[in-house]
Amino acid sequence: MRILYGIVGEGMGHATRSRVVLEHLLGAGHDVHVVVSGKAHQFLVDRFAHRPRIRFDEIHGLQLRFEDNALDKSETLLANLEALPGGLLKNIQVYRKVAEEGFDPELVISDFESWAFLYGLNHRLPVISIDNMQILARCDHAEDVLEGEKTAFRLAKWIVKAKMPGAYHYLVSSFFFPPVRKKRTTLVPPILRPEILAARREPGEHVLVYQSVATSTEAILPLLQKLPQRFVVYGAGREGSAGNVTFKGFSETGFVDDLRTARAVIAGGGFSLMGEAVHLRVPMLSVPLCGQFEQTLNARYLARLGYGAWSETIDLETLVFFLDDLDRHDEALASYPSPGNDVLFGCVDELVRDVALDEPPPDRLEAPAMGKWDGPPLPP
C-alpha cells in the first residue's frame, strides 16, 4: 500500500515513535512518503538513509518558544508570524510535488500533523491518527485528575478536537488507560524505540535529570548540589562536573544507558520520556511546562498511579520528599504491564487491512488493545 505519513517536528518524541511505526510499515512491504517539519526531518532522513520504499519531504511546522519552564506565547506568536510567508510557500510546493509526482497515496497516517491530514481530507483518503494527544478529547478523565484545571482542560480538549476531526481511526498511545468515550478510538501502550525495548533495568545510585529548557535546568542546579545523591544532567547545554552533578551532551546510547541504570528521573511532562521511564520502571518526578495542559495531565496520572510524583515547580522540599519515597513508586511500577510494540502493530495492521478492503471506519478493533470504545458516544 502507498502511505503518506505526516509527522509534527516540534519536539523529538513524535519523530522517535514515528520511526518505530515507519520501520514496521516498511517491513510489511508498504511504500511510504513522509512529510515532516523541524529537527525531526534530519533525524529521520539519517535513520532511513539508503532504505528503499521510503522518501522524505520537509515541510514548515509550528515553532514553540519557551522561557523559565513555560511556553512564551508572545515569542511563539512572533516567531510563527515571521516564518509564515516562507512556510506557506514551502508547504504549497511540497503539496504540488506529492500530488503531481505519481505517488498517489491510498492512506494517510498522521502523528498530530495537519499538512498530511488536510491532504487526506482534500483527496478523500482515510486518515489514521497515531499520537498521545487525542486522549484529551476521546477519553473520560477522573475529577481528581482535572481538579483546578478544568478551564485549561476544556481549552486543550477543544484544540485537540479541532486538529484532526473525522479520522478513519484514532490510535492513542498512553501509559494510563482511562475509559474510552468515543468510537473509532483505541488505546495502545507507549510506542518504544528499539533501544528502550532492548534495555535491561539495572538500578544504580545516580538520578537522571532532563529538562528540554536549559534555563530550568540551571535554576535547579543549586538545589541538586545540596543533596547527597549523584545527578546526571542532560539538556543544560554543557558538559563537565560541578560537585555531585555531572553534565552530559546529547548521546542516544548514553542517555538510554543512564536511564536504565538511574535510581530515579527528574524531568518535564513530555510523554515520550515519561512512557520510557514507566516501561523501564524508573520512578519519575515530573515538572510539566506551564501552559501545556497535556503535560500536566501526564504528570497527574503518573502520580495518581503511584509511578512517580509531580510538581508545578521544583524546590528542595519537593526533591527530598520524592527521593525519600522511591520504594513506594518501585512497588507501583512493578505491576505496570509492558507489552512492547506488538499491541500497536496489531492495530496498525488491522486498520491497513481494512483500508485495503475498502471497509468503513471500524468503531472497535478486533486486535488486542489497552482500551476500546464499548458503548454509545457521550456528548462532547
pLDDT of residue 195 exceeding 90, the answer is yes
Neighbours of 253 (CB within 10 A): 8
CATH number assigned to the domain comprising residue 232: 3.40.50.2000
- Same domain (yes/no): 211, 171: no
Q: Find the farthest-apart pair of alpha carbons in the chain and give their distance in angstroms, rounded.
A: 62
Contact call for residues 135 and 182 (beta carbons, < 8 A) = no
Task: Name the residue range of residue 285's domain.
Answer: 196-333
CATH number assigned to the domain comprising residue 122: 3.40.50
* Sequence letter at residue 161: K
User: Looking at the domain assignment, is residue 377 inside a domain?
Assistant: no
- The burial class, CB within 10 Å (0-12 / 13-18 / 19+), for 332 is middle
* Sequence letter at residue 62: L
pLDDT of residue 11 exceeding 90, the answer is no
**Rounded distance, CA 351 to CA 4, Å?**
15
**Rounded distance, CA 92 to CA 368, Å?**
39
Cell of 315: 524546590
Sheet with strand 371-372: strands edge to edge: 54-58, 31-36, 2-7, 107-111, 127-131, 169-173, 185-188, 371-372
Range with lowest mean pLDDT among 51-55, 87-91, 140-144: 87-91
User: Looking at the domain assignment, is residue 10 inside a domain?
Assistant: yes
User: Looking at the domain assignment, is residue 183 inside a domain?
Assistant: yes
User: Looking at the domain assignment, is residue 260 inside a domain?
Assistant: yes
| Predicted local confidence at residue 102, as pLDDT | 77
- Same domain (yes/no): 99, 238: no
**Rounded distance, CA 179 to CA 371, Å?**
7
- Same domain (yes/no): 100, 237: no
- Same domain (yes/no): 228, 354: no
Rounded to 10 deg, the angle between the 114-122 and 73-100 helix axes is 40
If you average pLDDT over residues 121-143, what whole number do you get? 95
Contact call for residues 3 and 119 (beta carbons, < 8 A) = no
Cell of 7: 509527522
Look at residues 111, 137, 127 and name the one whose alpha carbon lies nearest to residue 6.
Answer: 111
- Same domain (yes/no): 310, 248: yes
The separation between CA 245 and the C-alpha centre of its own chain, rounded to angstroms, equals 28
* Sequence letter at residue 201: R
- Same domain (yes/no): 279, 301: yes
The model carries a pTM of 0.90
DSSP β-ladder status, 185-188 and 230-234? unpaired
Q: What is the 3-state secondary structure (H, E, C) of 267-297?
A: ECCCHHHHHHHHHHCCCEEECCCECCHHHHH
Contact call for residues 4 and 105 (beta carbons, < 8 A) = yes
The separation between CA 192 and the C-alpha centre of its own chain, rounded to angstroms, equals 10
- Same domain (yes/no): 225, 113: no
- Same domain (yes/no): 173, 281: no
User: Looking at the domain assignment, is residue 379 inside a domain?
Assistant: no
User: Looking at the domain assignment, is residue 380 inside a domain?
Assistant: no
Give the Å distances, CA to CA, from 106 to 27, 123, 237, 358: 18, 10, 43, 10
If you average pLDDT over residues 328-341, what whole number do you get? 94
User: Looking at the domain assignment, is residue 40 inside a domain?
Assistant: yes
Residues 6+ apart with CB under 8 A from 49: none
Cell of 274: 515519561
User: Looking at the domain assignment, is residue 23 inside a domain?
Assistant: yes
| Predicted local confidence at residue 79, as pLDDT | 43
Across all residues in the chain, what is the average pLDDT?
Answer: 88
Range with lowest mean pLDDT among 20-29, 60-69, 283-292, 293-302: 60-69
Total number of residues shown for the chain: 380
Contact call for residues 245 and 266 (beta carbons, < 8 A) = no
**Rounded distance, CA 373 to CA 380, Å?**
15
**Rounded distance, CA 325 to CA 35, Å?**
44
- Same domain (yes/no): 74, 98: yes
- Same domain (yes/no): 213, 278: yes
- Same domain (yes/no): 110, 225: no
- Same domain (yes/no): 25, 134: yes
If you average pLDDT over residues 63-89, what whole number do you get? 48
Number of domains observed in the structure of the chain: 2
The most confident of 10-14, 207-211, 360-364, by mean pLDDT: 360-364
